[in-house]
Chain A
Amino acid sequence: MSAGTPPEERNASAPSLFKQHENLTVTAIFAGFVVIIALLQLIITGGKYPTFLSPVNILNILQQVSVPGMVAVGMTMVMISGGIDLSVGMLASLVSIVTALGVSKWQLGTATSILLGIATAIVLETLMGFIISRVKVEPFIITLGGMITFQGIALLLCNSREVIMNGELDFIKTNLIAGAKDPVTGLNLIIPPYALVFFLIALLGGILLKFTKYGRRIYAVGNNSTAAFLAGINVKSMRLSVYASMGLLVGVAAVCLLSRINTGIITLGQNLEIDTIAMVVIGGTALKGGKGNVVGTLIGVFFLGSIGNAMNMLRLPSEVQFVAKGMVIVVAVSAGHVSSAISEFMSRHAEPTPAVETADAKGR
């Protein structure tokens, strides 16, 4: 047995800068984006402080991204476990309609209606999770079916009409810092409670993934489900549970969204699945599972959320926003892959003894 390895060999295969900071690439691109927008504004306005970076605008972005952000935290967990969920948008619409109906038509009272809405989301997601964990069908297909089904249920419940409320949920969007003014623009600053709910969810999600036994198991299942099973992990119940938690988050997010709009309507959750998946992959979570983190997702959430806002600031037509959003996704995700390829290359060349497999040489 080799008595200890030479020190230079030990240090050589230490992770490079790229690997130690998983979210470095996307942070750099985001920062670059912010600088470019701010500079453009400076040029256009002839040297005034760019409104894109004003507190009121930053808080504005925060309000816009809070709801998709909550769902994105759930999507991060689902995707790390190797799954995906296309149904979140229509499920959010369904929850908003159920809750709005509970408040306005069924007279259940606000609290009961909210609980009913959230419970609906949990039950339906758990059901999908049950099918996904027991049947060997791609989560993509199951949740696609879920998406269409939920849309149907929602339309049936509201007779394809919108359900208007009388501001019963306004407490979710009251301004916590009423009276505060933005020093740049002089406008009112707003921080609603649901923004705090978003931060709380992100914090709990991050802790769950990084500092608990449960989180370790999610990564293991997403990385190699066979090895996870052989290491004593109940793969089925893990898969089920991530979808159940997703249900809770979609439920909460949908109620917050409903409070902003005050109307339960089928278009409420439109494109939510696309946006949240985009946020999560920009943040470095792999579609095939096993890799990703909540900090990355948060960067993705704010990045994607600020694109539309920036385009508005620059007075670009809304059509351009789609082009910009699409390109950002492509650039951010490919840049992530390029940088990890670079780090892999560097660590391989730094290693004096490359990983040579001689299995082939044994002639069986």
Chain B
Amino acid sequence: MRPILRLDHVSKSFVGVKALQNISFDLRPGEVHCLCGENGAGKSTLIKILSGAHQPDAGGDIYFEGEKVTLNPHLALDLGIQTIYQEHIVFDSLSVMENIFMGLEVAKKGFLDRREMRNQTVEVLRYLKSDLSPETIMGRLSSGQQKTVEIAKGLVFKRKVIILDEPTASYSAAEIDNLLEIIQAVKKSGIGIIYISHHLDEVFRVGDRVTVLRDGRKVSQYDIEGLSKTQLIKDMVGRDPSTFYQRESVPIGEVIFEARNVSGNGVRNISFQLHRGEVLGFAGMMGSGRSELMEVLFGSARLDAGEIWIKGRLVRHATPKASIKNKMCFITEDRQNTGLFLEQTIAQNVIVANLVNTRAFFASPGQDVEVADGFIRRLFIKAGNAKVRVLNLSGGNQQKVVLAKWFNTNGEVFIFDEPTRGIDVNSKQEIYQLMVSLLKQGKAIIMVSSEMPEVISMSDRVIVMKDGEMVGKIEKQDISEENILVHSIGGKAV
């Protein structure tokens, strides 16, 4: 059968990074073609090329129904390629019908033809065996139901290709079943579907073919029939560990932090001990509850049950304020929105967390600048002086300002959530070295990371999470990509 969509040796590079190299890929009508790969394998970049958001580098071509095309977001939609992203882009206060027809309303003599739109909506929803009503307000639906509406939109406008990016992240089991059934129905109408998921179960249930990406390259392509899970995992991992960052080892000391049966904020029953001089890595897929757990440990989300012990003392972390006093630090995953005061200067950012520990009512801006200048020198922050606004710094330097803010509090238990997200290779190494320097001072680190090489090279032990529970504890000698992936895909609570 002739493919609807074909990529021929497509590459894509960004400033300094080769996101995709020489990818060939095709999609036939009426098939579900799955894309598998770890975080950062290049799946999202591929989707963005297919939806016209990114242009491929010169040398690669895209063919739609046999014809060579240069895609842009508008043309992609006109041709019938619809992308349904992980984050919903919906109009919460409008109805299901209005969402489906948003921007493409049916009109008669200049007035909206609501009856026609309603009929089409009802017809498609019936085809999808959905019990949604066209009048329901979008904001009242669960995220699974909202996805159904987006798929319905694809059917109403007779799209030829539907791309689903991680559709089931944070779904209940029933919602997943429902979605997979809908996909089967959509497939029968001749639409080609590109399905991206971390959940290999879903890939095996719904897919016809699968393409595996790793580090921007195509590793393999299989028919699902006759394929084994082990083979798929083997293809997804398989980086050479000797290319990873080589961390200095630091002697491990006594227990400094302990979580006992911690529950709350969507995570259940987490227990672990953290020692001085140790990096405890938290691995797992996105949405597995790692960041949510960190919020509970830091007191920015509620602890429903369980105990937190610091240096042998039971503590109550009702607020971040209390945990900072207890020597905790939290480098959040989204530095721009939750870590930094972008409009303010480096000095103002550096001193802010330590205000908890200072007694004096008066403070001097000059002294703030002095403190910040010290950190600029120590952490090699590239900025003229401490009066530069953080807004004007690069990602790596912004992250160092976040670190300076926490180093300034003299904390001992550090939570790093995605410590090197979105920063360049050199800054990454500098951040790793700063983390090691903390360990040498007898401090301890809890590190959440979605980057396998980072987890493997930095961690002394790894805890794997899935669906808000702990599904694996891996000791130093057993840490490997394959081991982590097996736990995070198929693990059961331990």
Contacts and interface: CB of A to CB of B under 8 A. Distances in A.
Contact of A230 (B39, B320, B365, B382): B320
Interface string B328-367: 0010100001111111100010011101101011111100
Interface string A2-22: 101100011111110001100
B453 to A, nearest CB: 12
Given A14-B384, A15-B388, A213 B365 contact: no
Contact of A14 (B17, B319, B364, B388): B388
A10 B382 contact: yes
Contacts of A232: 319-321, 324-325, 353, 355-356
Given A1-B433, A232-B355, A347 B392 contact: yes
A231 B405 contact: yes
Given A232-B320, A355-B393, A13 B341 contact: no
Interface string B3-21: 0000000000111110110
B35 to A, nearest CB: 11
Interface string B411-436: 00000000001111010011001000
A221 B230 CA distance: 51
B342 A361 contact: no
A224 B321 CA distance: 16
A363 B338 CA distance: 22
A107 interface: no
Contacts of A214: 361
B41 interface: yes
A230 B360 contact: no
B300 A224 contact: no
A10 B393 CA distance: 12
A356 B395 CA distance: 7
Interface in A188-240: 210-217, 219-220, 223-224, 226-234
Contacts of B324: 231-232
A231 B320 contact: yes
Contact of A358 (B16, B330, B360): B16
B365 A211 contact: yes
Most buried by B among A216, A220, A358, A363: A363
A323 interface: no
B343 A220 contact: no
Contacts of A2: 380, 426, 430
A228 B352 contact: yes
A92 B429 CA distance: 59
B95 interface: no
Given A361-B14, A363-B216, A216 B384 contact: no
Nearest to A288: B343
Contacts of A220: 341, 344, 348, 352
A1 B358 contact: no
Interface string A170-196: 000000000000000000000000000
B45 interface: yes
A47 B473 CA distance: 89
B44 A216 contact: no
Interface in B367-395: 380, 382-385, 387-389, 392-395
A357 interface: yes
Nearest 7 CB-CB pairings of A with B: A359-B422, A361-B14, A14-B384, A363-B45, A232-B356, A232-B321, A361-B17
14 contacts: A1-B430, A14-B385, A215-B363, A216-B355, A217-B352, A224-B340, A228-B341, A233-B321, A347-B392, A354-B394, A355-B393, A356-B394, A361-B16, A364-B43
Interface of B: 13-17, 19-20, 39-46, 216, 298, 300, 319-321, 324-325, 330, 332, 337-344, 348, 351-353, 355-356, 358, 360-365, 380, 382-385, 387-389, 392-395, 405, 421-424, 426, 429-430, 433, 450
